[in-house]
Amino acid sequence: MRSRNTRRWAAAAAALTGAGLALAGCASSDSGGGGSASGTWPGEGKSECKGLEQLADFGDLTGKTVSVYTSILPPEQQAQEDSYKLFTTCTGAEVKYEGSDQFETQLVVRVKAGNAPDIAYIPQPGLLKTVVSSGSAVEAPSQVSDNVDKWFGEDWRNYGTVDGKLYAAPLGASVKSFVWFSPKMFADNGWTVPETWDDMLSLTDDIAAKGIKPWCAGFESGDATGWPGTDWLEDAVLRSAGPDVYDQWVNHDIPFNDSAIETSLDDVGKILKDDKYVNGGFGDVNSIATTAFQDGGLPILKGDCAMYRMASFYAAQWPEGTDVSQGGDVFAFYLPTMSDEFGKPVLGGGEFVTAFSDRQEVQAFQTYLSTDVWANEKAKATPGGGWVSANKGLDINNLKSPIDKLSAETLQDPNAVFRFDGSDQMPSAVGAGSFWKEMTAWITGESTDQALTNVENSWPAS
Amino acid sequence: MTGVVTDAQIVDAESTPPQRSASEAAKDALSSRTASIVALVIAVIWTIPTFGLLVSSFRPEEDVKTSGWWTIFTNPSFTLQNYKDVLSGGSSQESLYNNLINSIVITIPAVLIPISLATLAAYAFAWMDFKGKYVLFIAVFALQIVPIQVTLVPLLKLYVDPPFNLMPLAGRDAPAGGLYELWISHTIFALPLAIFLLHNFMREIPGELIESARVDGAGHVQIFTRIMLPLMMPAIAAFGIFQFLWVWNDLLVALVFSSPEVSPMTVKLVSLVGERGQDWQLLASGAFVSLIIPLIVFLSLQRYFVRGLLAGSVKG
């Protein structure tokens, strides 16, 4: 019996080993890695590749592919892919695009498992830090660094930098410091776009005196409910306390419930927590928490409310056929400043091109995306609008929609002081957790002091 | 419940001839008028959300976004636009067709592989004697408790960088775009429950049957193919539907392991909503589109479902 069993085991082991060897034979030996450029770049002498001479450094990349993983979904995906055609023409390399609405979680899973894409467009500096600290991200090549110095502001470079090294160049941008309104409604009533915060408050009173609720708002956004509130607060902090305090606050150098922040949240509360001012078309203050941010501005079209503070990307939410332009059905104005002291603070967001491989074609693609040529190419490839970049080489005339032009002008304004959305930079326990929750609690009745203290207490210790 | 049946049986004994069976008695006791009304009310309440979803799927975008589906009764307006958009892939302009094929290609092996492995394993656990059988069975049983979420990263790590210099199944050069990963993962996640269910069912088959087959000279293989498989068909079919629905509706495993070339319907439907949820009116019609095939499978195999599930889990 014993000997029979032993024989069986031996046979099984032999079979397994055999299968293992057979499979091992199939294992590919392609290890990727840096390597040096070979051949001349296919863009040599082609007129459309003018301005992309940097790509010549990477040689002939015909037949190579670069995989891109992003949170950018259709219809914007199509415009992105169209803008890569020039890259394929000039280098020969193809781009394999993959978008996912679960990008933030799935990227971390893939990076942890060693299955990272070649390039990911990371929409949060906080996530970039996490990914870099895992050790798998690759520093940007010198060409990208040069381009970032040339085409982007210092503030943008900082957001793509971790521990003094530039990892990621900015890709697209969005401006959050906008207030949506109806130019027609304003013209009919003789209202003008406010230039200062105080003007805005007196305009609010004027509108309320007419019996129209001046503001509408919506904080509901599925499991991210509350984020529009964090944007309100961040914009107010930038305007009342200034960008330096804002940075300290975001980096937790001052407590979350600092008195400056409390003042700012009270400024927001003067507008959002007054039943006379909100919530046009939906109900009282409490309805803000349950109104989806996608629907929050729609009452403007019916004249039920006059103003809606929401980012430039809200342009996509208007029903088809809405005229989004100066003098049209809806447009946006820059959320005015409280004083001239801090320039024109602009709250916004954007994506950062992070690489996980240093293969030639990956670096070439990074370089391509950081050029002014790509920014203009992308603008031309986006016929419906809805995209801007902070790239100073972007010709505003290439942008199709009026709101994109306004966004680009706002970003390129010499007085503009850009600050990235704070909740995207804070540790995720706060920025994607307690901050959202407490803003929702605050709008439904919690006191300013209590809300800010709760967030402060939830800040991770280290 | 027992009380009711017993009462009914007492009534039986007094008034009716004894040939009435217990099941008839139970039927009488359970089909009272009140019970029917209660069941009906529950069924209606249960169905209202689904009905609302169906109505929503036919409403124009503007209506969906500004008012609830119940306003359809006072202000009826219907459109097929949502279905057109979903089938043509919404704003991405890529039709759902490829993803439908992917879903089928993913699902069929992901159902067949665990079933074939599980029936073999269940037979071994039920009717073969070997050392450590019970320890092993308890281990398999216990694996059901492990939530699949905790296995995702380690599993992906194994696929990317397998031990013993085996072929990597994930990563840049994944064979078949990562289909193997999906099949193997679904198989891994399904096996504990499959083995447990089928084992319980097999234990119920009378031992005399197997003994007499042995006396007639049948080996394990013959017993398995000639006796067990035909007897187990309902249970296998029941588990098949179970696994089919699970794999078809799965989003998590697909998100983690699939690449764009092999992404199933669920992944595509989620992305139809758009980056900032601007097209969420497509969700309702998307839900009904993805429901068609599971519905066909379920309805055609339904009779096995009830019979097989009861047979596997309830003893005696």
- Please name the residues in contact with B45: beta carbons below 8 A apart, sequence gap of 6 or more: none
Distance CA A424, CA B207 (A): 65
Q: Does A98 touch chain B (CB under 8 A)?
A: yes
Q: Is the ipTM of this complex over 0.85?
A: no
- Report the pLDDT value the prediction gives residue B2, as an integer from 0 to 100: 42
Which range of residues forms the domain containing residue B121? 91-313
| Cβ–Cβ < 8 Å for A191, A207 | yes
Residue B221 has pLDDT above 80, yes or no: yes
Q: Is the model's pLDDT at B267 over the cut of 80?
A: yes
Out of B56, B85, B114, pick the residue that ends a domain.
B85
Q: What is the mean pLDDT of residues A141-154?
A: 93
- Determine, for residues B170 and A115 on separate chains, whether the beta-carbon distance falls below 8 Å: yes
Strand partners of residue A162: A165
Q: Smallest CA–CA separation between B66 and chain A, in Å? A: 8
A96 touches chain B (CB under 8 A): yes
pTM reported for the whole predicted model? 0.80
Looking at the predicted structure, is the pLDDT value of residue A28 above 70? Answer: no
Contact check, Cβ <8 Å, A100/B275? no
With beta carbons less than 8 A apart as the criterion, state whether A422 and A177 touch: no
Q: Which residues of B touch A28 (CB under 8 A)?
A: 167-168, 173
Confidence of residue A206 (pLDDT cuts 50, 70, 90): very high
Give the Cα separation of A218 and A278 in Å (integer): 10
Q: Please tell me the total count of domains within chain B.
A: 2
Share of chain A above pLDDT 70, in %: 92
Please state the rounded mean pLDDT for residues A250-274.
Answer: 94
Of A41-50, A165-174, A240-249, A337-346, minimum mean pLDDT range: A41-50
Tell me how far apart the terminal alpha carbons of chain A are, to the nearest angstrom.
Answer: 62
Given a cut of 60, is residue A24 above it in pLDDT? no
Same domain flag for B153 and B295? yes
**What is the DSSP code (8-state) at residue B216?**
T
Of B173, B274, B280, Cβ closest to residue A30: B173
User: In the prediction, which pLDDT does B309 show?
Assistant: 54
How far is the C-alpha of B112 from the C-alpha of B305, rounded, in Å? 17
Chain B interface includes A29 (CB < 8 A)? no
Q: Which residues contact A433 (CB under 8 A, 6 or more apart)?
A: A458
- When mean pLDDT is compared over A1-15, A181-195, B199-213, the highest value belongs to A181-195
Is A77 in the B-facing interface, judged by CB distances under 8 Å? yes
pLDDT in tens, A72-96: 887 788 889 999 999 999 999 999 9
Q: B133 and B247: one domain?
A: yes
Q: Say whether both B147 and B224 belong to one domain.
A: yes
Please check the confidence at residue B6 and state whether its pLDDT lies above 50: no
Shared-domain flag, residues B185 and B278? yes
Element (H, E) at B223: none
Range of the domain at A359: 48-175+348-419
Q: Does residue A30 sit within a domain?
A: no
Interchain contact, A109 vs B152, CB within 8 Å: yes
CATH number of the domain to which A225 belongs: 3.40.190.10
Chain A interface, mutation test: which of B172, B173, B250, B257, most A Cβ atoms within 10 Å?
Answer: B172
| Residues in B 270-309 with any Cβ partner in A closer than 8 A | 270-278, 280
Nearest to A295 among B65, B161, B270 (CB): B65
Mean pLDDT of chain A: 88
In this structure, is residue A31 part of a structural domain? no
Which of these three, B50, B66, B85, is where a domain ends? B85
Same domain, A208 and A315: yes
The reply to whether B19 and B158 lie within a common domain is: no
Q: What is the pLDDT of residues B85-121, one digit of tens each?
A: 888 766 566 778 888 899 999 999 999 999 999 999 9
B293, B258, B255: which is closest to B271 by C-alpha?
B255
Distance CA A173, CA A150 (A): 17
Quick: pLDDT tens for B149-198: 899 999 999 998 888 878 888 777 777 778 899 999 999 999 999 999 99
pLDDT at A227 over 80: yes
CB atoms within 10 A of CB A450: 13
Of A76, A77, A298, the CB nearest to B66: A298
Interface of B with A in 61-80 (CB under 8 A): 61-62, 65-66
Among A98, A115, A221, beta carbon nearest to B260? A98
Rounded to the nearest angstrom, the minimum Cα separation between B310 and chain A is 37
Q: What rounded mean pLDDT belongs to chain B?
A: 82
pLDDT band at B144 (very low <50, low <70, confident <90, very high): confident
**Residue B48 predicted with pLDDT over 90:** yes
* Cβ–Cβ gap A75/B92 under 8 Å: yes
Please give the residue of chain B at the shortest CA–CA distance from A5. B130
Q: What's the total number of domains in chain A?
A: 2
Position B33 pLDDT exceeds 90: no
Q: Which chain B residues are closer than 8 Å to A99 by Cβ?
A: 271
Nearest CB to A71 within list B66, B273, B275: B275
CA distance B250 to chain A (A): 14
| A101 close contact with B: CB closer than 8 A | yes
Q: Give residue B260's pLDDT.
A: 81
Residues A138 and A163 in one domain: yes
Summarised one tens digit per residue, pLDDT across range A394-423 is 999 999 889 999 999 999 888 889 999 999
pLDDT surpasses 70 at A117: yes
A323-374 pLDDT, tens per residue? 999 989 999 999 999 988 898 999 999 999 999 999 999 999 999 999 999 9
Strand-pairing partners, residue A170, are: A352
Nearest to A109 among B172, B256, B280 (CB): B256
Q: Which residues of chain A make contact with B166, given a CB cutoff of 8 A?
A: 20, 23-24, 27
User: A100 and A159 in one domain?
Assistant: yes
- For residue B294, give both structure tokens: 């599971």
* Bridge partners (DSSP) listed for residue A330: A324
Residues of A in contact with B161 (CB under 8 A): 114
In the prediction, which pLDDT does B93 show?
62
Q: The CATH number of the domain where B140 resides is what?
A: 1.10.3720.10
Å from B306 to nearest chain A CA?
36
Nearest neighbour of A27 by CB, restricted to B89, B168, B270:
B168
**Average of per-residue pLDDT across A369-394:** 90
- Confidence grade of residue B316 (pLDDT, cut at 50, 70, 90): very low
A311 and A376 assigned to the same domain: no
Smallest Cα distance from B217 to chain A, Å: 21
Percent of chain B with pLDDT over 90: 26
Q: Same domain, yes or no, for A267 and A393?
A: no
Chain B CB contacts of A78 below 8 Å = 91-93
Split at pLDDT 50, 70, 90, the class of A30 is very low
